[in-house]
Copies of this chain bind each other. A is one copy, B any other.
């Protein structure tokens, strides 16, 4: 597989009170067109990742909104897999090209989350878990990930509260170097540990925030992308699923779907984890980044703590993770996150990441998870010029 990235566009992530779903989406669409230097009519199809338009904005049918925004009548579909919606949309865009159906595809991820109260958002997000087995009984997503954190830290006590906090500290360090990021302030370990307890052991600063944002990537068939002088190509797309509920899961100390998706994407790209220059992973909670790093093969299960203890996940170290600031600092507009990861990967491989630039970056991986691990989608990006 070799699908070129020909354009990227992203809005500021944050509380964007003066824009609705449509305006956010249009903003990233126009930026991506501008970056690709193409006109809307050159786009053959669109896919848009969105999770909560229905419950938070009363708006489904966002596929048609995406084409209407550019005055097109082309095929356009909304794709949803909870917080992995963005990566799933990207995957469908790739398949549209591989099937011969399209040559140039626009893929969007958009979410508008701050127009309603936090309780409503928390309830809506719980739709990503099992409503009957979990949501109905009062579980929330911090609650689900606290169960995972407790199971993991019980089995692997080397992951201490202090080391877990380092995930957030590092992501804020990166976020402070990213212009489109929601939280641009650096924090200390103490900030994390002493912040309000949300679901033991996870405090406020272990949790990603509620965010508005939109991100668009334009991809193209290899030959077209080459003619347009693209440097960045997608060489692998892996996708695996698991049970919606934790109760039915085989393990609580790993997210197996992430590992399966990674193995598929690596095999398609002829790489191993050793070849990877950097990764954007799904740190909806700090414990999720620990499990992601292990799923991607940077450490064995139970051993990721070493990377954080030794500060190896910073942009200028051995295993740069979440140079965008991750979901924690950059923000988590759920449907947009998967596309944001792809954009960060593209910026790194193009050498456009400025003061968070990974040196000599040649292979980047994005890892996007839905729910508490029921969907995981991994893409491999390579610099090929």
Q: Which residues of A contact B (CB under 8 A)?
A: 20, 22, 51-55, 57-61, 63-65, 67-68, 72-82, 88, 91-92, 95-96, 98-101, 123-124, 126-132, 135, 239-244, 248, 256-257, 260, 370-371, 374-375
Is the beta-carbon distance between B81 and A131 smaller than 8 angstroms? Answer: no
Q: Which residue of B lies closest to A260 (CB)?
A: B73
Is the beta-carbon distance between A79 and B82 smaller than 8 angstroms? Answer: no
Q: Say yes or no: A68-B244 contact (C-beta < 8 A), given A60-B127, A88-B77.
A: yes
What is the count of identical protomers in the complex? 2
Q: Which residue of B lies closest to A72 (CB)?
A: B241
Pick from B22, B101, B126, B127: contact of A132, CB under 8 Å? B22
* Distance in angstroms between the alpha carbons of A52 and B53 in the assembled complex: 11
Is the beta-carbon distance between A61 and B370 smaller than 8 angstroms? Answer: yes
Is the beta-carbon distance between A240 and B98 smaller than 8 angstroms? Answer: no
Looking at chain A's contact residues, is the secondary structure mostly helix, strand, loop, or mixed? mixed
* Distance in angstroms between the alpha carbons of A246 and B60 in the assembled complex: 16
Pick from B53, B98, B371: contact of A64, CB under 8 Å? B371
Is the beta-carbon distance between B241 and A75 smaller than 8 angstroms? Answer: yes
Distance in angstroms from A284 CB to nearest chain B CB is 14
Q: Say yes or no: A58-B123 contact (C-beta < 8 A), given A68-B244, A80-B80, A101-B95.
A: yes
Q: Which residue of B lies closest to A68 (CB)?
A: B243
Q: Which residue of B lies closest to A136 (CB)?
A: B58
Is the beta-carbon distance between B132 and A63 smaller than 8 angstroms? Answer: no
A52 partner residues in chain B, CB cutoff 8 A = 54, 60
Pick from B57, B79, B256: contact of A78, CB under 8 Å? B79
Is the beta-carbon distance between A244 and B64 smaller than 8 angstroms? Answer: yes
Distance in angstroms from A266 CB to nearest chain B CB is 16
Q: Which residue of B lies closest to A373 (CB)?
A: B64
Q: Please give me the 8 A-B residue pairs with the lowest Cβ-Cβ distance, nearest first.
A: A64-B374, A98-B99, A75-B239, A54-B54, A99-B99, A61-B82, A60-B127, A59-B131
A75 partner residues in chain B, CB cutoff 8 A = 239-241
Pick from B78, B91, B240: contact of A80, CB under 8 Å? B78
* Distance in angstroms between the alpha carbons of A81 and B64 in the assembled complex: 8
A59 partner residues in chain B, CB cutoff 8 A = 127, 130-131, 135
